[in-house]
Structure 1
Amino acid sequence: MSGSPKYQARMLGRIFRFCLGVYFVTEVWPVFMEVSSEGLLIRLAWALGLTLFYIAMHLLIVRFTPNIDRVVGAILAFGPFLAVFLIGYGGPAATGALTFLSVSLILAAIRADPGCEVMSIPATIFGTHTHLACLLFSPIDWCEKKMH
């Protein structure tokens, strides 16, 4: 469902999210330093495009499909990011996608957002969360929740 999450990501999940986000920043930063201003704008446009896409997806999930299965929803949510990254591998689209994911991961770590990290930016903007799981981090979150 939407609103406040039932739980927050705990320390280990937050650390992993943050570290992976910082790692991706170290991967995209040199690219941004080497490209022309036009190349920079193209890469940022891809990141902004993904942000707008996920804002729209967030609104759709919160308003129209709140009962979508959290794992199926996570696969559907991560699919567009993965498609942009793989199709644009080595180019501006992939750099923009990693930029978007870097910001999302770091934001999710700071806010202790559980679940799907690609939904962290919309969750921050609207103050509501989707209930989608994250294929990588949700198992860590669930284990940490059980341990406490």
Structure 2
Amino acid sequence: MTRARLVSQRGQSLLEVLVAVTVTAVTVLGLIAVQLSIARDARARSYREQAALVADAIAEAARAPNRNDAAISQWRTRAASLLPQGDAGTSGGADLSFARATWAWRDSVPGNAAHPGDMIDMPASCGDADVPQGVQCVAMAFSR
């Protein structure tokens, strides 16, 4: 009778260990997913901050008493190097103009190219110019 009881307890201990390992594995996978999400959000914030810096610098160069096209060209080049498929420029009329910086967001996030419908943060327009899906934009209005 003692031997049968001992064999029964060995099976229960193995099952408890298996459940504990499974719970630990699921918890670790959840923590990894949260870390990846935090890293993706930090990268998106970084791109938005860099684009805002570029758009502000372009607006300042365009507002100067003598429009500084060389500075605008340099900031466009900087946008292309700082942001994935980055572009920058100005648009608008004599009274109200827009300085903008755009970048490809879908291409900079692994996995989003396969699911373009998953884009949540997509602007409807970029100042007075429409942007395609997967492109993010920062626009600043200014008067000359």
Category of TM-score, reference length = shorter chain: 0.3 to 0.5
Higher strand share: 2
Counting helix residues as a fraction of each chain, which structure ranks higher?
1
TM, length-normalised to structure 1 = 0.36
